[in-house]
Amino acid sequence: MSEALDAMAAERAESIRMIRDSAAGIAPRGGDRKRIRALRFQAPGFDRAVWQQVGEQGWIGLHVAEERGGAGLGMSEFCAIAEEMGAALAPEPLVPGALSAALLAAAGAEAPLAKLLAGESYVATAWQEAPGVLEAPGNEGAPRRFLPLAGGADAFLVPVREGGKLALYLQPAGGADLALEKTQDGGFFGTLRPQGGERVLEDAEVALASALDEAALGTAAYLLGIMDQAFTLTLDYLRTRQQFNRPIGSFQALQHRAADLKIQLALSRASVESAAALLDTPGTPQAMRRAAVSRAKARASEAAMLITRQAIQLHGGIGYTDEADIGLYLRKAMVMANQFGPAALHRRRFAAEAREEEA
């Protein structure tokens, strides 16, 4: 029995490694940062051709059941891809797209789901209603905020509270009342005022809660990729930058700072991977799942901000210029750290869910 389990674990680890390797063609570590710079503040904020490649690779539907057209893989595999996208600073909306794919799959909306999974369209879920974060949306027509790359959306999924249930509407982007605002990383957030649409799911409460947890964990993995690559670039700089005829990485004070950052990176990786494993384990109590996701998201958000800020400082004066690539990682972390809930919110949720689990 033990040998069979070990073999299954080894097979899955190899599968995850192969998935990571497959990202090199679209989102290479070290990245094509010229592409990232060229897309900054240019509508829609991502490359449609690359988005289609993401769909062709099966990444958008990686966690969607095979009978719905997805790959039927777990959160561990999805987090591996999200991490690679983060390391490459890829702006394509993988996590928001996967969130919408999960909801369309739950609704059985085959036609829009197929187009989304193929990367032929981008559907944004307008779940976040001011002023709440991770709270159930309320009245129809209430503005929905912070939609990632909303200017590139072909349709919107809008949860609406109706008769004690949370209905889900699919609204075409054409003619939508949508306002865009630039973000630090060169992308755009949208504010949408819903205008009806087709109801595709009568009660989306459970599906939305599950999909939001997966999106929060996917975002934590994306942040893990950001901080991992920022740390790698910083180590390379410390090894090559010379002062007093020796690499500055040989200075003990800088070595101590780098060691502290490596610890934060390792703790974040352990937290994300353990949360993904919990979500992939059938029968895991809901409170335990939510607590693990919040722990991972809170840690990743704070660690990404710490590591990217320290990376700027360790690069010296040049790190503060826009021409320095290391700044791109800080800007991306500033935007992603608050998506699907900031660290403070997830710390509160972790405390609440951990108490419920112990009760």
Q: Tell which residue, 207, 166, 171, 160, has the closest CA to residue 63.
A: 207
- Adjacency order of strands within the sheet including 155-162: 123-125, 155-162, 165-172, 198-201
The strand pairing partners of 198, in sequence order, are 170
- What gap in Å lies between CA 301 and CA 186, rounded to an integer? 19
What pLDDT, on the 0 to 100 scale, is given for residue 356? 63
pTM of structure:
0.94
- Per the model's pLDDT, the better-predicted residue between 243 and 333 turns out to be 333
Phi/psi of residue 272, nearest 5 degrees: -65, -45
Judging by DSSP bridges, how do beta strands 177-182 and 123-125 pair with one another? unpaired
Using the predicted structure, report yes or no on whether residue 138 has a pLDDT greater than 50: no
- Per the model's pLDDT, the better-predicted residue between 22 and 263 turns out to be 263
- Mean pLDDT, residues 339-352 taken together: 95
Judging by DSSP bridges, how do beta strands 123-125 and 155-162 pair with one another? parallel
Mean residue pLDDT of the chain comes to: 91
Residue 350 in any domain: the answer is yes
- What gap in Å lies between CA 273 and CA 260, rounded to an integer? 20
- In the chain, % of residues over pLDDT 70: 93
What pLDDT, on the 0 to 100 scale, is given for residue 164? 84
Residue 46 in any domain: the answer is no
CA atoms within 13 A on the CB side of 162: 14
Using the predicted structure, report yes or no on whether residue 134 has a pLDDT greater than 50: no
| Structure confidence by residue, pLDDT tens digits, 151-164 | 999 999 999 988 88
Give the angle subtended at the CA of 203 by the CAs of 288 and 159, to the nearest 5°: 90
User: Which pLDDT band, with edges at 50, 70 and 90, does 212 fall under?
Assistant: very high
What pLDDT, on the 0 to 100 scale, is given for residue 140? 60
User: Which pLDDT band, with edges at 50, 70 and 90, does 206 fall under?
Assistant: very high
Residue 244 in any domain: the answer is yes
Site of tokens 């005829």? 245
Q: Tell which residue, 310, 304, 235, has the closest CA to residue 267.
A: 304
- What gap in Å lies between CA 85 and CA 73, rounded to an integer? 18
| Structure confidence by residue, pLDDT tens digits, 86-127 | 999 999 999 999 999 999 999 999 999 999 999 999 999 999
- What gap in Å lies between CA 74 and CA 79, rounded to an integer? 9
- What gap in Å lies between CA 303 and CA 307, rounded to an integer? 6
Residue 137 identity: P
Residue 83 in any domain: the answer is no
Tokens of 328: 């791109």
User: Which pLDDT band, with edges at 50, 70 and 90, does 4 fall under?
Assistant: low
CATH of the domain at 239: 1.20.140.10
Residue 158 in any domain: the answer is no
- In the chain, % of residues over pLDDT 90: 77
User: Which pLDDT band, with edges at 50, 70 and 90, does 137 fall under?
Assistant: very low
Tokens of 85: 């996208």
Q: Identify whether the C-beta of residue 150 lies closer than 8 Å to the C-beta of residue 84.
A: no
| DSSP string for 2-49 | HHHHHHHHHHHHHHHHHHHHHGGGTS-TT--HHHHHHHTT-TTSS-HH
| Number of domains the chain is built from | 1
Residue 197 in any domain: the answer is no
What is the domain range of residue 260? 219-358
What pLDDT, on the 0 to 100 scale, is given for residue 92? 97
User: Which pLDDT band, with edges at 50, 70 and 90, does 131 fall under?
Assistant: low
**How many other C-beta atoms lie within 10 A of the C-beta of residue 285?**
12
User: Which pLDDT band, with edges at 50, 70 and 90, does 136 fall under?
Assistant: very low
Residue 252 in any domain: the answer is yes
- Mean pLDDT, residues 66-76 taken together: 95
| Structure confidence by residue, pLDDT tens digits, 253-286 | 989 999 999 999 999 999 999 999 999 999 999 9
Residue 9 in any domain: the answer is no
- Give the chain's radius of gyration (CA, Å): 20
| Structure confidence by residue, pLDDT tens digits, 239-261 | 998 788 888 888 889 899 999 99
Residue 133 identity: V
Instruction: For residue 228, give Cα distances in angstroms to 123, 126, 257, 328.
Output: 29, 30, 15, 13
| Structure confidence by residue, pLDDT tens digits, 306-331 | 999 999 999 998 899 999 999 999 99
- What gap in Å lies between CA 207 and CA 201, rounded to an integer? 10
